[in-house]
Amino acid sequence: MSSAVLDANDTRIGLRASARHLGALTRRNLMRIKADPESMLDALLVPIIFTVLFVYVFGGAVAGGQQAYIQYMVPGLLGTTGLNLAMAVGTGLNSDFQTGVMDRFRTLPIGRSAVLLSKIAAEMMRSVVAFTVLITFSMILGLKLTTGFLPLLAAVGLSLMLGMSIVWISMLLGMSLRSAQAVQGVSMMVIMPLQFGSSIFAPASTMPGWLQAFTKYNPLSALADACRNLINGGPVAHSATIVVVFSVVVTAVFAPLAVARFRKRT
């Protein structure tokens, strides 16, 4: 089937059919996880490893004790967990192109956007699992939900919003770079400065002036502050607004670019 015919079919696909395609492709992605449970190790183990390492290695130095550091660091860890999972999507998408999976999709009368949206839907479910593991394990270590359950859900919602906006960047990288290894390398160059040049692990006030300037405008700092205040109590509106605006702008810019790139490659 030619690309022109597929493009014509794509414009005739209705909302109900698109929803069916999205559901079917999302189930496919979840079945792949079921068939390869090792692919969930990053969602299940990385939150636990990060929590143990940072709480017991840096807790005493940064906050004067592990309990205080749990309350400070774990809310911010929601954001970095979502970011790590989001950036991994591009690697999987690149592998799908390399192994010929996308050639099969190209022969099917399905909406192009459904393929990408199904990746986001599956990734949201993986992120929810990771957040649940992180929060549950942190509560075992002593995390206290000072403000209650609903603010915690709001913190998770903000983390999901930012993470799913970053997925579009990740997918664009996955379709633009030649190999999965290249996608991983570029992703690390994006993730590391954002994670450690933020207020997730240490207050910005302890950093040199030039780094404080970067930290101030880092969206992960805004997310960490919002989640921290949602869980521990404190003003939320300003930092939450920054997260929402950043997520909307990133999605508005990179979602069309990712869809256009996908159409070009398929």
Domain of 85 in residue numbering reads as 3-265
Which is nearest to 174 in space by CA: 90, 87, 69? 90
Residue whose C-alpha is closest to residue 122's, from 153, 81, 92, 158: 92
Task: Tell me how many domains the chain contains.
Answer: 1
Q: How many angstroms separate the CA atoms of 157 and 236, rounded?
A: 14
Dump pLDDT digits (tens) for 91-122.
888 888 887 777 777 777 676 677 888 888 88
Torsion-angle region of 233 (φ positive above 0: left; ψ -120 to 50: alpha; else: beta):
left
pLDDT of residue 82: 86
Task: Look at residue 61 in the predicted model and tell me its pLDDT.
Answer: 76
pLDDT band at 14 (very low <50, low <70, confident <90, very high): low
pLDDT confidence tier of residue 58, bands split at 50, 70 and 90? confident
Give the pLDDT of residue 7: 44
Residue 221 has pLDDT above 50, yes or no: yes
Task: Report the alpha-carbon distance of residue 222 to residue 265 in Å, rounded.
Answer: 35
Sorting pLDDT into bands at 50, 70 and 90, what band is 5?
very low
Distance CA 129, CA 133 (A): 6
Mean pLDDT of 187-191: 88
Mean pLDDT confidence for 238-244: 95
Provide the pLDDT for residue 229: 95
**What would the two tokens of residue 14 be?**
């209705």
Instruction: Give the whole-angstrom CA distance, residue 197 versus residue 211.
Output: 7
Mean pLDDT value across residues 76-82: 88
Residue 165 pLDDT greater than 80, yes or no: yes
* pTM of the full structure: 0.85
